[in-house]
A and B are shown apart, each in its own frame.
Chain A
Amino acid sequence: MSTFPLLEVDGLERRFDVSAPWLNRVIERRPKQILKAVDGVSFSIPRGETLALVGESGCGKSTIAKLVVGLYPPSGGTITFRGDERRVQMIFQDPFASLNPRWRVGRIVAEPIRTLEPGRPDAEVEARVAELLATVGLNAGDGTKYPHEFSGGQRQRISIARALAGEPEFLVCDEPTSALDVSVQAQILNLMKRLQRQFELTYLFISHDLSVVRHMADTIAVMYLGRIVEIAPTAELFAHPRHPYTRLLLETIPDLEAPKRDRTPMAGEVPSPIDPPEGCAFHPRCPLAFDRCKTERPELAGEPDRHRTACFAALPVASAASCVAPARAQSRST
């Protein structure tokens, strides 16, 4: 068995040109505007494991998903996939938009099989589709219906059945449950975990929900403005968060088991990736920021394959607890 990770991403970059049309730019004398959606991201995923990308809207999660499955070419960096390229599948947030409304469910699920093995007899394909529908908890009879006849959760099951039809070894899941109610989310997450065990799947799992990510991931990468600011095994990240942004996230998400009813939330907003702050992009919101943070950009550092943080002030595990106090001393904003 190979000890190399199934997926390795190194220094990945993706820039978008978001300039005004050329003529306007010339008349108004505005420079070209380049948005760095993904700005030097590295991670690897061992076979059979789940790596989660978590972060707020616009930080570059979906762009990484699209780069990894090849929907976008990278502007820089490398993606090494040590598997069968044809056996990479993607599940999207909006199961409706990603299913062809004019196709019956049976045809939707059969499509990857027909792409993979164009010569396979119809009867076999049909039997396989029925089996897949059963695997994801739908009835064989559902194959004759159209996507609009299903609820959101059922549509996500259809997407998963379609992904499985391609006999994937690697699945990129971009917010697969964000559009679903929590009880339906539980059904889908349970299903995804079961399928992972059963078929030894490897997941790149994207979500903005830390509790979902905690449930699903072996390793979590926290992103801020196109970069990974902290990456660690799940239990380690929750027990010893080091980056001030990770701590901010952990402090602000509502916790059912210990509701913070008298919070003074941190002020500030997510800056625009078109014109990110100099130095450490988090410095305008960071309670620990000092001079160096305004000019120099911190790189990920720490124990490779264990816990790495991109922060000049991030402390090693032993003294992390003493750091919580300053992180809490936040300005009132409300």
Chain B
Amino acid sequence: MAEPVLDIRNLSVAFPTRHGVLTAVDDISLEIAAGEILGVVGESGAGKSMTGMAVLGLLEPPGRIAAGEIRLEGERIDQLGEAGMQKVRGRRIGAIFQDPLTSLHPLFSVGDQLVETIRFHLKLGRDAARARALDLLREVGIPAAESRIDHYPHQFSGGMRQRVVIALALSADPDLIIADEPTTALDVSIQAQITALLKRLCREHGTAVMLVTHDMGVIAETADRVAVMYAGRLAEVGPVAEVVRQPRHPYTKGLMGSIPSLRREVEELVQIDGSMPRLNAIPRGCAFNPRCGHAGPRCRKERPSLAHGRVACWLEQGGVQP
């Protein structure tokens, strides 16, 4: 098998605080191949964004990578430091965030921002960079790109701004794109345009994509594989069709059942009582055990691992009895 573009091994992200160390991402391992879209889902606070930020080298101090390795095309990037990561970000890893305005400068035209980014990473002349900027804007579906290129971000709609951000992320033809809730702020009809665009670009350029979202529907239509996170850990990883249609982890099952159906009448939605624990109160053993209907003594003592399987649950690894 070809080497994955992104290879995360036993990654932990920690925040030292006055009351002790909070582990926001706890020993997770993931791979993404070229041209593959890996969806990362989970509820807010599950650690999705922190995983993406760790890869981008954008953890806000005191947050830091406490353990594990991150490899891009086989080369470790978790120890490069800020100077090293500045060359990696934009050039080899593109980023797309929920609010396009965080990625765009309000006082520069989108053309200037694209040209600047392209020249910084690709060492092109001004004219060549502008030509590439125009190509990119056309590629992401900005109509009348020639006249729009000199407009400012506030002159674009939310959906169009997100297209510009995608153009920026693609400007140096990166190996990997981290897209964190890229469609969450957009209306449904625009959401579909943006996910279809991401998918097409990923296919055509062979880019690996980590698509972070809380929206199972977006994952079902966009991702090839999906990783379900709970309390900083991976609950389940697998091909999207399997995880959506036959979820195996009790948490994933509950999550899928709690989503109202577009096709069927359901009198009552599946309800997982309680809520995800806070980082300072993660239960011993399986983090899901207080909310799990199958929990046994082993779940309260030992943490199940994903190992080489698909599901981190004792039910699949010898049972819940000690």
> What residues make up the interface of A, taking CB atoms closer than 8 Å to B?
56-57, 151-154, 181-187, 189-190, 193, 208, 210-212, 214-215, 235, 238, 248-250, 252-261, 263-270, 333-334
A266 lies within 8 A of B260 (CB): no
Instruction: Report Cα–Cα, A183/B221, bound state, in Å.
Output: 20
Pick from B192, B259, B265, B268: contact of A182, CB below 8 A.
B259
B196 lies within 8 A of A215 (CB): no
Interface residues on B, range: 35 or more
A215 lies within 8 A of B221 (CB): no
Q: Does B102 contact A (CB under 8 A)?
A: no
Question: Assuming the A-B contacts A257-B263, A333-B193, are A215 and B269 also in contact, with contact meaning beta carbons closer than 8 angstroms in the complex?
Answer: yes
Enumerate chain A residues within 8 angstroms of B155, measured Cβ to Cβ: none
Instruction: Report Cα–Cα, A311/B59, bound state, in Å.
Output: 52
Number of A-B residue pairs at CB separation under 8 A: 127
Question: Assuming the A-B contacts A259-B220, A265-B192, are A214 and B262 also in contact, with contact meaning beta carbons closer than 8 angstroms in the complex?
Answer: yes
Q: Which residue of B lies closest to A150 (CB)?
A: B275
Shortest beta-carbon distance, A107 to chain B, in Å? 24
Q: Does B43 contact A (CB under 8 A)?
A: yes
Pick from B188, B196, B275: contact of A249, CB below 8 A.
B188
Enumerate chain A residues within 8 angstroms of B260, measured Cβ to Cβ: 186, 189, 211-212, 214-215
Instruction: Report Cα–Cα, A249/B269, bound state, in Å.
Output: 23
A182 lies within 8 A of B255 (CB): yes
Q: Does B141 contact A (CB under 8 A)?
A: yes
Q: Which residue of B lies closest to A137 (CB)?
A: B273
Question: Assuming the A-B contacts A253-B262, A257-B262, are A181 and B189 also in contact, with contact meaning beta carbons closer than 8 angstroms in the complex?
Answer: no
Q: Does B279 contact A (CB under 8 A)?
A: no
Q: Does B272 contact A (CB under 8 A)?
A: yes
B220 lies within 8 A of A256 (CB): yes
B218 lies within 8 A of A254 (CB): yes
Enumerate chain A residues within 8 angstroms of B271, measured Cβ to Cβ: 183, 186-187, 190
Enumerate chain A residues within 8 angstroms of B266, measured Cβ to Cβ: 215
Q: Does B301 contact A (CB under 8 A)?
A: no
> What residues make up the interface of B, taking CB atoms closer than 8 Å to A?
43-44, 141, 157, 159-160, 187-193, 196-197, 200, 214-218, 220-222, 244, 254-263, 265-266, 268-273, 275
B43 lies within 8 A of A181 (CB): yes
Enumerate chain B residues within 8 angstroms of A259, measured Cβ to Cβ: 217, 220-221, 244
Pick from A250, A256, A264: contact of B216, CB below 8 A.
A256
Q: Which residue of B lies closest to A189 (CB)?
A: B269
Instruction: Report Cα–Cα, A214/B260, bound state, in Å.
Output: 8
A249 lies within 8 A of B220 (CB): no
Enumerate chain A residues within 8 angstroms of B268, measured Cβ to Cβ: 190, 193
Instruction: Report Cα–Cα, A185/B160, bound state, in Å.
Output: 30
Enumerate chain B residues within 8 angstroms of A193, measured Cβ to Cβ: 268
Shortest beta-carbon distance, B320 to chain A, in Å? 22
Enumerate chain B residues within 8 angstroms of A211, measured Cβ to Cβ: 259-262
Shortest beta-carbon distance, A58 to chain B, in Å? 9
User: What are 11 A-B contacts with C-beta separation under 8 Å?
Assistant: A151-B275, A183-B255, A184-B275, A187-B271, A189-B269, A214-B262, A255-B220, A259-B217, A263-B196, A269-B159, A333-B193
Instruction: Report Cα–Cα, A259/B197, bound state, in Å.
Output: 16
Enumerate chain A residues within 8 angstroms of B217, measured Cβ to Cβ: 253-256, 259
Shortest beta-carbon distance, B36 to chain A, in Å? 14
Enumerate chain A residues within 8 angstroms of B159, measured Cβ to Cβ: 269
Pick from B192, B215, B275: contact of A263, CB below 8 A.
B192
Known: A153-B275, A190-B269, A259-B221. 16 other contacts (CB 8 A): A56-B189, A182-B43, A183-B255, A189-B260, A190-B268, A208-B188, A214-B262, A248-B189, A249-B188, A254-B215, A255-B263, A259-B220, A263-B221, A265-B196, A267-B193, A334-B141
Q: Which residue of A lies closest to B259 (CB)?
A: A182
Instruction: Report Cα–Cα, A37/B264, bound state, in Å.
Output: 33
Enumerate chain A residues within 8 angstroms of B141, measured Cβ to Cβ: 333-334
Enumerate chain B residues within 8 angstroms of A190, measured Cβ to Cβ: 268-269, 271
Enumerate chain B residues within 8 angstroms of A248, measured Cβ to Cβ: 189
Instruction: Report Cα–Cα, A263/B266, bound state, in Å.
Output: 27
Instruction: Report Cα–Cα, A65/B74, bound state, in Å.
Output: 55
Instruction: Report Cα–Cα, A215/B200, bound state, in Å.
Output: 33
Instruction: Report Cα–Cα, A153/B48, bound state, in Å.
Output: 20
Which 7 residue pairs spanning A and B have beta carbons closest together? Answer: A254-B217, A186-B258, A215-B260, A265-B192, A186-B269, A181-B43, A259-B220
Question: Assuming the A-B contacts A215-B266, A263-B196, are A182 and B275 also in contact, with contact meaning beta carbons closer than 8 angstroms in the complex?
Answer: no
